[in-house]
Structure 1
Amino acid sequence: MTTILHLGLGSFHRAHQALYIHELRQRGDTEWSITGGNLRPDMLATMEALQAQGGAYTLETVTPQGERSYTRIESIGKVIPYQDDLAPLITAGAEAATRIISFTVTEAGYYLDAKNQLDWATFADLRADLEAVKAGRAGHTIYGGLVSILRARMRSGAGAVTLMNCDNLRHNGERSRAGLLQFIDALGDTALKAWVEQNTSSPNAMVDRITPRPTPDVAERVKAATGWDDQAAIMGESFIQWVIEDNFIAGRPAWEQVGVEMVQSVDAFEEAKIRLLNATHSCIAWAGTLVGYQYIHEGTHDSVIRRFAYDYVTDDTIPVLDTPEKPSPLDLRAYRDVVLDRFGNPAICDTNQRVAMDGYSKIPGFIAPTIRERLARGESISSVAMLPALFLAYLQRWHRGEIAYTYQDQAMDPAAAHAMCESADPVAAFAADTVLWGALASHPQLVGALRVAHERVGLFVKNHLG
């Protein structure tokens, strides 16, 4: 048996990567199995349920038309309970049978600034993790955790291993690898760095499936449909996509047999997904929150919010992703329409709270590239400027304590965000924030477009709320 060790047994992994391995096993290819655990003490009740169920769980999927189906997933062969010293995870990662170490991390969880450098100054937990690893303790960030595992693997002589991202970070393989090597440099472990450079690969990948946090009614529907009292049931949309750069140093599953696109470069797929799907998702979540909606589908069916999203994609984003010099391999207009159809699925009940989080990572990662490219071409940014303007209005609500849920943002400095909202000119302060904008900060055309967009957002909210 060959093993994928996955770090982060959340809903997305179990609705996506684990499903693909399950489908291979259903076809008779039982070579690969997943061992999974977490670097932090997250989802303890779900982890206990998965353990009790032998790693098995039910995935409910639902189409935009409301058709539901149920699959019992049995690809997770071993669930590793959380231990602060990570000893069982480290042991699994150091076994010769483990050929891929995969992980699902939020954008902010990579601690990278606009220049792909580890942001030691901003993130105290990253600094603390470095000190823990220096002192011989296990690391709990993605970098500290991988270092703890890879050191053990190097010592055991278990051989090469692929490090595989399953998340939304743009250029995720190369950027996470850069962060890992910087972390190792900070440790001063030259032997480990040389080993990692020679014995690991880091393919870029693009993943896609909307997977809301499961609510109790998911388990209730699973029990009604299957008879199984599943305490780890999850649900997701019927749409699924995975595009992977075929750069595996120690073998891989035959994923192409179950619909995965194995390619030379994921760039075009990734840019389409990040800008047409992820940015649009955030747009709808921020706008929906401002007018009192709880769910993404409510905002998607609001004609004004849908128009914000549609115009952002059509006016400003498609023109920079599909050019005569570099045509896109995708039909971007069809992709836009599929995305909005997916977001309008009322059965998903994806919350604005889940999608709105981590704006301080999403502005620079999802939205600023379109602004930068439009400005470089001397073109308007009026449609794309609506997205950061919505986020600014959202932040101002958060500043006043008027968001109906807890806003989570690993990359945000709350004191700096409050100060921005309290400034005499919040738009100028927002546009000057280098965490959000990098070299674009205080660009005159950015400031001007944000001022116009901020007024539009104010009118939108006033018209909706009276």
Structure 2
Amino acid sequence: MSTPYTWLHIGLGSFHRAHQAWYFNQLMRNGDHSWQIAAGNIRNDSEATIETLQRQHGEYVLETVTPRGHRHHELIKSIKKLIPWQADLAPLISCGAEPNTKVIAFTVTESGYYLDTEFNLQINNPDIKQDLQGGNQTIYGTISKILEQRIEQQAGPVTLLSCDNVRHNGQRFRDGLIEFLNLTHNAKVLGWLADNVSFPNSMVDRITPKPEPNLTDRVLDKTGVHDGAPVMGESFIQWVLEDNFIAGRPKLEEVGVELVASVDPYEEAKIRILNVSHAGIAWTGALIGQKYIHESTQTGFIREIVYKYITRDVIPCLSQHQNDIDFYQYRDVVLDRFTNEHIKDTIQRVSGDGFSKIPAMITPTLVESYAQGRVPKATASLPAIFYVFMQEWHIGRLAFDYYDGILDSASVHQMYEADDPIHLYASNQSLFGELAQKPEFEALLRNRIEAVYALLS
């Protein structure tokens, strides 16, 4: 039997293990062993999981559950190589540079792309600064080192595949990487990219919460497997890929992956309808002391906020460009998925990275609504809720630690301590782009923030 090709995944977290690894497991169950997953991390924050998986030979149990509580357990065996972390990432870089590695995919979250509202690198970010000096704290520094080694070792072409909730994620990563290579004067890699690297866009979808404390016991009870690193997710799963793989790919279409010429309509629907609503529900739920997404989705006024956002603003925007997706049906399916009380998806998990989500996911609907001659009152409610959410963070009243990969704590505290914090917020170009200089947008945002205060009083 020939040696299988390697699909290297950077970002070995619960989502990858519940999503991409599941599809590869289906291929293996069908008798296709022509590809295998190798996986590792840029950051040293999951080594305990990797060590556990190593003891289990990479195998673990995936539990999925429907909104009605039907559970299914499956042993996943598709991750064949677990790459230990070390500070210089030498094992990860070495794997990426092997000739047999044909695809390098990654999930680094929205904030892991370090892009501003104009999709340029945030060159003043400390992580980017470090990588511009030769570090490997970000996906850009890491991938550039992998490509340098591939060139030296004549390893051949490779596909770089973003699997994050970033609009046009392949294109955005490509542009960010090229900017990074220009800033580091890396002419060798820049010259090699055009003929040797492809950057497909993709859309991934499966809600994957932090595993419950009793998941290990439940897996043992249901399967008899002693698993120290099980994962759980909803039963729904979707993966849409632009069919643009320069060095070959697995036959993923045989296990339900949608290979398409353009991912655009799928990712727009998912980002604006699912991801934004998810965040809005989390921010609002946090303000009334709730802990789980299903609680907040089942809270009437919270569901109404996101329902109006989707129906009044998002669907009119999306319908201008795409007519063969039933956005109303998609809205209803998404909101039903959010009511899944059995996965216990936490508000803390979903609320993160707001300073990346607003410019990337919410501001486009604001801009397009104005362009269509419509005041986006429903959409403006979401950054208004986030303003109040962060105000609670500012005064230390959030019930959990808020995570945001690009949070500038000092600047946010300074904003709320100013005479007119709403003005500073509304005029923040990094968040709102061209709207930051428009008095009518500031007036709308003030109105929506006042409405949030009134709702919570």
TM class by smaller structure: over 0.9
TM-align CA RMSD: 1.0
Q: How many residues align?
A: 454
Task: Report the equivalent of 1:140.
Answer: 137
Equivalent in the alignment of 2:178: 181
Report the Cα distance in structure 2 between the residues aligned to 1:402 and 1:452, rounded to whole angstroms: 23
Match of 2:451 among 434, 453, 456: 456
Pick aligned residue for 1:35 from 33, 38, 41: 38
Tell me the CA shift for residue 311 of structure 1.
0.3
The answer to whether the Cα contact below 8 Å between 1:389 and 1:450 also exists between their aligned partners in 2 is: yes
Name the amino acid aligned to 2:423. Answer: A
**2:244 counterpart of 1:242:** no
Q: Which residue of 1 aligns with 2:414?
A: 419
Letter paired with 1:233: P
Q: Specify the SS of the correspondent of 2:133.
A: helix
1:268 pairs with 2:270: no
Output aligned runs, 1:64-463, within 5 Å: 64-121=67-124, 123-133=125-135, 139-323=136-320, 326-462=321-457
Secondary structure, aligned partner of 2:379: coil
SS in 2 for 1:282: helix
2:143 alignment partner AA: L
Give the Cα separation in 2 of the matches to 1:364 and 1:322. Answer: 21
Counterpart CA distance in 1 for 2:209 and 2:386 is 21
- Structure 1: gaps of 5 or more residues: 134-138
- The code of the aligned residue for 1:141 comes to T
C-alpha displacement of 1:429 = 1.7
Task: State the 1:412 CA deviation.
Answer: 2.2
Structure-2 separation of matches of 1:188 and 1:26? 46
Secondary structure of the 2:283 match is helix
Judge which range, 419-428 or 362-371, deviates more: 419-428
SS of match in other structure, 1:42: coil
| Cα distance in 1 for residues equivalent to 2:57 and 2:105 | 20
Q: 1:143-183 CA distances to partner (integer Å, 9 max, x unpaired)?
A: 11111111111111110000011111111001001111111
Segment of structure 1 superposing worse, 166-175 or 90-99: 90-99
TM-score, normalised relative to structure 1: 0.96
2:54 is aligned, of 51, 54, 61, to 51
| Alignment partners' CA distance in 2, 1:132 and 1:94 | 18
Distance (whole Å) between structure 2 residues aligned to residue 177 and residue 194 of structure 1: 14
1:188-224 Cα deviation digits (max 9, x unpaired): 1111111122211000001100001113211121111
Q: State how far apart, in whole Å, the 2-side matches of 1:131 and 1:327 are.
A: 44
Residue type at the aligned position of 2:149: A
Q: Which moved more, 1:441-450 or 1:100-109?
A: 441-450
Is the contact between residue 369 and residue 375 of structure 2 (CA under 8 Å) also seen in structure 1? yes
Q: Deviations over 1:6-44 (max 9, x none)?
A: 111000011111110110110011101001111111211
Displacement of 1:48 in angstroms is 0.6
Contact 2:40–2:85 (Cα < 8 Å) also in 1: yes
- Kept after mapping to 2: 8 A contact 1:245/1:262: yes
Deviation (angstroms), 1:274: 0.4
State whether residues 127 and 137 of structure 2, in contact with CA within 8 Å, keep that contact through their aligned partners in structure 1.
no
Which residue of 2 is the match for residue 136 of structure 1? none
Q: Is the 8 A contact 1:13 1:166 kept in 2?
A: no
